[in-house]
Amino acid sequence: RVRGRGGIAAAASTQATTDAGAAPDADGAALEAAGPPAPADTWQLDFCSRPMLDERGKKVWELLVCDETGAVQHAEYFANNKVNSANLKSALQRVADEANGGVMPTKVRFFRTQMNTIISRALKDLGIKPVPSRRCAELISWLDERYDTVYSVHPGFQANAPPLMAPEQGPLEDLPQELAGSQWAFVELELGELIEESKSVRGGSLFGDTIDVEAVADELGLDMNASVPGVVALSRRAAAVAAWTCGLEVVALQADDSRATLVMEAGVSTRYRYATWPRNDAAADKEARDWADAKAEVGGLHFLALQADVDDEDVLGFWALRDIAMPRA
């Protein structure tokens, strides 16, 4: 159940769903051996110089391409005079040929908007939708891993080089009216229930988006009964609000008690004033801080659920989210 942490004390329970193709839980049933994961329909891409110099003293550029399943993982160095959309397009075609029989993803996420022109041109030429977004958790984790295992041991490593092209935090904007709910509350779900809701999103039966919650749970060693904090928003137009919210590329929710504001982070640097509570309300501020602390205890995992009414058991939109820190390189 979605359990209230305050505000709306009795938020509606979420609709339990399972994948239609789930293996039967029967004694003696023969299970088909799992093969390698199929490439995801969305890839993650970074094309940027790294904190190291080549033998000529020039910055080394690198292309990284991956997906959340691990089926796609490609690293390739570029000379700085080869950094253009034509060479990027050729490299992506090779990645698709090697990883997926030439089949391209539907969209590619990238977070360095300074490279938007080159990346978008290459992707559009290949019929792929470019999506500027920080929802690149696997890519960012891989970048941090390569910082320790590849970049820092390179003979041309520049230890004091600052991160290049780091996204800047945008100003706090008002939430578009069509996305606003009438009520909201801090709530929580057990991890196992969060996974089930995420399956509904992945299966296409529910508006929303989701990170790979099971992979995060394995990474952090979380128990299936662990409480995951979230936010439920209510609106009589919940289905329409969910559809509109799908276009935002929601990254995370942050409780800012200094502004008495729940902030929605979207895209690369967009920040919306998603909801507010009364200023100088000590109890409300404490609830917000407790919610943020609960999020930190589960590695930044949290969620957003949209419902039509507090007594309605149907969740009409669901986003499984995780706080994302930018890489060191």
pLDDT by residue (tens digit) across 162-206? 777 777 889 999 999 999 999 999 999 999 999 999 999 999 999
Beta bridge partners of 62: 48, 77
What DSSP element (H or E) covers 253? strand 250-256
Burial letters for 160-170: b for 16+ Cβ neighbours within 10 Å, e otherwise? ebeeeeebeee
Looking at residue 257, the DSSP 8-state letter turns out to be T
φ and ψ at residue 4, rounded to 5 degrees: -75, 140
d(CA 66, CA 69): 8
* Residue 321 pLDDT exceeds 80: yes
CB 317 within 8 A of CB 208: yes
CATH number of 42-153: 3.30.420.10
Beta-sheet pairing, 107-110 with 270-276: unpaired
CB 105 within 8 A of CB 67: yes
Residue type at 245 in one-letter notation: T
The model's pLDDT over 273-295, given as tens digits with 9 standing for 90+, comes to 999 999 999 999 999 999 999 99
Q: What is the mean pLDDT of residues 210-221?
A: 95
Tokens of 180: 């606003």
Record the pTM.
0.86
Residue range(s) in the chain whose domain bears CATH number 3.30.420.10: 42-153
Q: Is 49 helix (H, G, I), strand (E, B) or coil?
A: strand
pLDDT, position 220: 96
